[in-house]
Amino acid sequence: MSAINLYTTKTQALYFKDSQRNSFYEFGGIQLIPNYGNDYIEKFNYSSTSFTSVGAYKVSDDSLKSNMITNVSLFTSPLSIKYLFLSNLPELGNDLIYLKLVDNFSNTYYSNPFYITSLDEYRTTYIEYYDNYNEYSTEGSPAQSTQLKFWFRQKSRQSELTTYYESSTKNTVTQAIKTHNLEMYESEFMSIEDLIMTAEILEKPYLFIDGKRCSLFEAVKIPELTQQENFGKIKFTLAPNN
């Protein structure tokens, strides 16, 4: 699972399931920050070795927002996995955009929609993750990374307790056997596809939130939607690995 995926047709890339609100493109789960200190990295599952053109286009009217040929490149890891690198991104304002890429074989790819803007960046979170131990442990294999529209809400703490009867004192004793320091997060409105994508990323075995390794503490509950809605919010809890 990658946050930004590439498709061979624009119809596939920009497909939204039935929702009246979808036609306004008022939500989006992915918000990359311009000129961010880190690259954004996604797996690339095609045979391309380079790109001859890369453009960012507005979803609403297909107009060109920015030429991004210098911002997007390909990298192959020691495990022969290809990655898409997005770096030094320009500020594109509050327009939902998609990428159109043409590779060295004249194949054209389209990305799913996302934002590139610093607007309300404090309401986003930088995430890195590996799919498995082999990728995590191999030197030179980068973590996939993205920026999603959710933010830290508050700290919490939860203890697992055990209860036993102490015969010498004839008392029932309750004792903590394990304590978790927790961090609670909440998302912006996202499409149901982006909510599911976010949940799948959070379930990765090697997950880093703003540079700190964490584990999902409990399953993410995807909200039940009504009528023609295809958007919602999620709340979830992470346990930082000490």
Domain boundaries, the chain: 6-153+184-240
**Paired tokens of 157:** 């703490």
What's the whole-number mean pLDDT along residues 80-108? 94
Q: Is the pLDDT of residue 45 over 80?
A: yes
Q: What is the CA radius of gyration of the chain?
A: 21
End-to-end CA distance of the chain: 26
Average of per-residue pLDDT across 4-31: 72
114-138 in b/e burial notation, b at 16+ Cβ within 10 A?
Answer: bbbbbeebeebbbbbbbbeeebeee
Asked if residues 105 and 3 have their Cβ atoms less than 8 Å apart, the reply is: no
pLDDT in tens, 65-90: 999 999 999 999 999 999 999 999 99
Cα–Cα distance for residue pair 87/72, rounded to 1 Å: 7
Tell me what pLDDT residue 111 has. Answer: 95
- Reply yes or no on whether the pLDDT at 223 is more than 50: yes
Mean pLDDT of 106-118: 94
Token code pair at residue 7: 């498709």
| Cβ–Cβ under 8 Å, residues 237 and 217 | yes
Question: Is pLDDT at 185 greater than 90 in this prediction?
Answer: no
* Global confidence as pTM: 0.83
Residue 111 one-letter amino acid = S
Count other C-beta atoms under 10 Å from residue 14's C-beta: 18
Structural tokens at position 62? 């297909």
Structure-token match 């933010």, residue found: 151
Query: 60 is written with which tokens?
Result: 């609403």
24-33, 159-168, 184-193, 212-221 — which is least confidently predicted? 159-168
Helix (H, G, I), strand (E, B) or coil at 6: strand
What would the pLDDT profile of 135-157 be if each residue is shown by its tens digit? 999 999 999 999 998 887 767 66
Matching residue, tokens 């070795």: 49
Confidence of residue 19 (pLDDT cuts 50, 70, 90): very low
Nearest-5° Cα angle at 36, 83 to 47: 15
